[in-house]
Amino acid sequence: MNGGTLLALAWRFAALSLIAVGGANALVPAIHAQAVDATHWLTPMAFTESIALAQAAPGPNLLLVPLVGWHVAGVGGAFVALLAFVIPSSILAVGGARFLLARSGERRVDALRWALRPVGGGLMLSSSVAVFASAARAWPVPHPWALPGLGAIAVATTLATWRWPVNPLAWIAIAAALGAVVPLR
């Protein structure tokens, strides 16, 4: 295990943790930019598989962070990435909460709380786009029309989920049935 790699891993995830408005899932595009585009620690397919594993496993949404660390530097990398991601944001969250609680009811504090809501929503939306783009680059597309078709499926699924609030397992079952009928390759 290379000490320079662990230091780079710690530095990148510590910096990301300080902008984690909306949680770890909101930072998927930034994690992708660091782990795939900037450092080439992971391939787009490995990143997509890590997201799928992190979402399928029970537990907190930040499981992607130690998975990236594990891909980079094994078990030590997983611990370094997780601690580097959790400690700075936890300190900032506790300090910020104490500050805001002491000034509860002030107009500026209320305005700040309202202003951060769309930021979190926008980060979650960009996270979805980044996961889709990474998955689209990772899978071989046999026909030129297939990529716009995948985009249409993503948009249709998003609109259907928004329009009809159904248990997410039903959407997964529908996607599995469609995947069995319509081959991707």
Cα distance between residue 56 and residue 41, in whole Å: 22
Does one domain contain both 92 and 66?
Answer: yes
Cα distance between residue 68 and residue 47, in whole Å: 8
pTM above 0.85, yes or no: no
Does one domain contain both 98 and 170?
Answer: no
Cα distance between residue 138 and residue 47, in whole Å: 9
Contact call for residues 9 and 69 (beta carbons, < 8 A) = yes
Task: Name the token pair of 10.
Answer: 């710690």
Cα distance between residue 123 and residue 33, in whole Å: 14
Does one domain contain both 99 and 120?
Answer: yes
**pLDDT exceeds 70 at position 174:** yes
Does one domain contain both 8 and 44?
Answer: yes
Cα→Cα distances 119→16, 32, 130, 175, Å: 15, 19, 16, 30
What is the residue range of 147's domain?
Answer: 140-185
Does one domain contain both 164 and 147?
Answer: yes
Does one domain contain both 63 and 48?
Answer: yes
Report the percent of the chain where pLDDT is more than 70.
86
Per-residue confidence (pLDDT) for residue 110, from 0 to 100: 85
Instruction: Give the distance, in angstroms, between the CA of residue 80 and the centroid of all CA atoms in the same chain.
Output: 18
Instruction: Give the distance, in angstroms, between the CA of residue 71 and the centroid of all CA atoms in the same chain.
Output: 16
Cα distance between residue 62 and residue 45, in whole Å: 19
- Give the mean model confidence (pLDDT) for residues 70-75: 93
Task: Name the token pair of 71.
Answer: 């891909």
Per-residue confidence (pLDDT) for residue 66, from 0 to 100: 94
Does one domain contain both 41 and 72?
Answer: yes
Does one domain contain both 126 and 159?
Answer: no
Does one domain contain both 13 and 97?
Answer: yes
Q: What is the pLDDT of residues 26-47, one digit of tens each?
A: 788 889 889 998 999 999 889 9
Does one domain contain both 128 and 117?
Answer: yes
Does one domain contain both 160 and 118?
Answer: no
**pLDDT exceeds 80 at position 95:** yes
Task: Name the token pair of 158.
Answer: 């998003």
The number of distinct structural domains making up the chain is 2
**Burial of 150 (C-beta count, 10 Å sphere; 0-12/13-18/19+):** middle
Does one domain contain both 149 and 74?
Answer: no
CA atoms within 13 A on the CB side of 28: 29
Instruction: Give the distance, in angstroms, between the CA of residue 107 and the centroid of all CA atoms in the same chain.
Output: 32
**pLDDT exceeds 60 at position 185:** no
